[in-house]
Structure 1
Amino acid sequence: MSFFTRALPIGSRSLSIARPSLIQARFESTAAVKRQPRVLPSFSLDGKVCLVTGAARGLGNEFCRAFIQSGCSSLAILDLKESEAQVAAAELVAAACVNSDLKPEDLNVIGLGCDVSSELSVQKAFESVMDNFGRIDSVVASAGIVENYSAFDYPFDRIKRLYDINVHGAFFTAREAARNMIPQGGGSITLVSSMSASVVNIPQPQTPYNASKAAVRHMASSLGVEWAKKGVRVNTLSPGYMLTKLTKTILAHDQDLKKTWESLTPMGKMGEPEDLAGAIVFLASDASRFMTGAEIRVDGGYCVI
């Protein structure tokens, strides 16, 4: 097929249709210049101090990776065992410097031990963060547990432990974050809930977990309203079924459960932890500066049907 250049009249102006060879030459001349990706500046976490609980592994650790990739160089990793938090911090720094112009000294990532179910432990952890960085701009309450017992068989001490971590831990974390953010003019708090706050996902029995995540979601809305005029935003991220290392280990011994979860998800698959990166960076950054008391669900459409 051959093409030619001709002019089409459009009022008093003309539109030129160029030969493919000219278009190709022009494209090649611009493609040869390596360009940096263009990103909305408000998504950047450059200069912000971030803190994530439950971040030694799992989704919390993935959030930390996303923050570093988005420019955060001051980060606190909180987890129950300080040694594990410190190892995670060192691994994140090392990973960030691979195939990058970053050097270890460019990143200040600390690992702290924190039992989120203890108000005193949370307070001490935030004091350490303030001593290290002088401010806190974005906090993610990611620490949480899930257990599967039928309602009749669920031991009370296990229920209490679940609520102490999932609900009370989220509240203590949000409250200490706000205490430090308000004097500096504000900040962002993200509470990690679950699609289980909106639906009763099956077949596993987990009533206390579902109720705890519904509590977290409404807690974020309530705190978002309470602190709105103080500059502190509180939102919720609710993941669906994610293929974390722990989930993969569980499903490796129960392929039928994996098939059930996938069949009930409109997208026909489970999510990868990195699928949450965009949402958590959005909530943590200035890109969501007019958003509070809201929820972002990342569940492959599970809650829609």
Structure 2
Amino acid sequence: MNRFDLTGKRAFITGAGSGLGQAIAIALAQAGADIASFDLPGASNQADTSASIAACGRQMLVLAGDVTDPVSIETAFDRAEQELGEIDIAVNSAGIANVGAAEVMPHAQFLRMMDINLNGLFWSCQVEGRRMLARGRGSILNMASICGSTAIPGLEQAHYDATKAAVIRLTKSLAAEWAGRGVRVNCLSPGFMATPMNSRPEVAENVRIFAAMTPMKRMGQPHEVGGPAVFLSSEAASYCTGVDLNIDGGFLSI
């Protein structure tokens, strides 16, 4: 079991102020890692994340910035390494979701989705990968979605789905590019999870329907993403790279 132990490790997590990013930050801390949490200035639940991590006896460094700005990411990553030590694990969880009919979607709505969910994730991987490649070791974990592998009837979110499909492909490409240089790159694809993002009024009825369609007949809870994140970040997954791990209650099996 000690291969799952993250004691002495340090993790840099984007979007750790709420939702699945927060749940992953807490899970990694419970496994022994210190956490650098990178989120937008004033992210609402950073204090809650800090309190949970302190309760695990681990350190948490709160960093403010924007994943659409590579300089912001690099500055935050450098500070994390200065204050916590060399980063061993990076988790890229920052993202947004919204809906809109494809045929009338404004350019600005489409481009903002791409800029945060895809471009921002790539800039994050670039900064993290550059540091890890220089040391010849590290684990990067990206947040994708089952919506990157299948279209969900009734959800008008072609722009969101496109970003998550790209995250899966990007993860596999980076994994292949960096595998021989000591850096593993994997992704998680959650199904319908009980997070603030899925509490949006415009998706409430769809969430109820798709929870009923899920073989387990329920929404996933944020903490249920934590275990897979710990596994892929740990030495227990030392031969895993390019993995897209579905956490969906069996949704993609139907």
In structure 1, how many angstroms separate the alpha carbons of the residues matched to 2:79 and 2:85? 9
SS of the residue 2:171 aligns to: helix
Q: Check if 1:293 corresponds to 2:242.
A: yes
User: Could you tell me which amino acid in structure 1 is paired with residue 237 of structure 2?
Assistant: S
User: Could you tell me which amino acid in structure 1 is paired with residue 8 of structure 2?
Assistant: G
SS of the residue 2:103 aligns to: coil
Paired residue for 1:80? 40
SS of the residue 2:166 aligns to: helix
Paired residue for 1:270? 219
1:85–1:112 contact (8 Å) kept in structure 2: no
Q: Check if 1:144 corresponds to 2:95.
A: yes
Paired residue for 1:203? 154
2:15–2:94 contact (8 Å) kept in structure 1: yes
Cα deviations by residue, 1:201-238 (Å, 9 ceiling, x for unpaired): 12110001001000000000000010111100000100
Q: Check if 1:92 corresponds to 2:32.
A: no
- Give 1:274-285 correspondences, 5 Å limit: 274-285=223-234
Q: CA deviation at 1:262?
A: 1.9
In structure 2, how many angstroms separate the alpha carbons of the residues matched to 1:90 and 1:234? 26
Q: CA deviation at 1:87?
A: 2.3
RMSD: 1.8
Match of 1:58 among 19, 30, 35: 19
In structure 2, how many angstroms separate the alpha carbons of the residues matched to 1:264 and 1:301? 10
Paired residue for 1:233? 184
User: Could you tell me which amino acid in structure 2 is paired with residue 79 of structure 1?
Assistant: D
Q: CA deviation at 1:304?
A: 1.6
SS of the residue 1:227 aligns to: helix
Aligned length: 254
SS of the residue 2:156 aligns to: coil
Q: Unaligned regions of 5+ residues in structure 2, if any? A: none
1:79–1:112 contact (8 Å) kept in structure 2: yes
Q: CA deviation at 1:250?
A: 3.5
In structure 1, how many angstroms separate the alpha carbons of the residues matched to 2:191 and 2:49? 26
2:30–2:53 contact (8 Å) kept in structure 1: no
In structure 1, how many angstroms separate the alpha carbons of the residues matched to 2:188 and 2:226? 11
Q: CA deviation at 1:301?
A: 1.2
Among all aligned residue pairs of Structure 1 and Structure 2, give the percentage whose two residues are the same amino acid: 35
In structure 2, how many angstroms separate the alpha carbons of the residues matched to 1:222 and 1:188? 15
In structure 2, how many angstroms separate the alpha carbons of the residues matched to 1:86 and 1:143? 13
TM-score, length basis structure 2: 0.94
In structure 2, how many angstroms separate the alpha carbons of the residues matched to 1:109 and 1:260? 38
1:80–1:115 contact (8 Å) kept in structure 2: yes
Q: Check if 1:174 corresponds to 2:134.
A: no
In structure 2, how many angstroms separate the alpha carbons of the residues matched to 1:265 and 1:151? 26
* RCO comparison, higher one (Cα < 8 Å, 6+): 2
Paired residue for 1:13? none
SS of the residue 2:102 aligns to: coil
Cα deviations by residue, 1:138-169 (Å, 9 ceiling, x for unpaired): 00000011110000221111111110110011
1:78–1:85 contact (8 Å) kept in structure 2: no
In structure 2, how many angstroms separate the alpha carbons of the residues matched to 1:118 and 1:288? 31
Q: Check if 1:68 corresponds to 2:36.
A: no
Worse-matched range after superposition: 121-130 or 206-215: 121-130
TM-score, length basis structure 1: 0.79
Paired residue for 2:77? 126
2:26–2:49 contact (8 Å) kept in structure 1: no
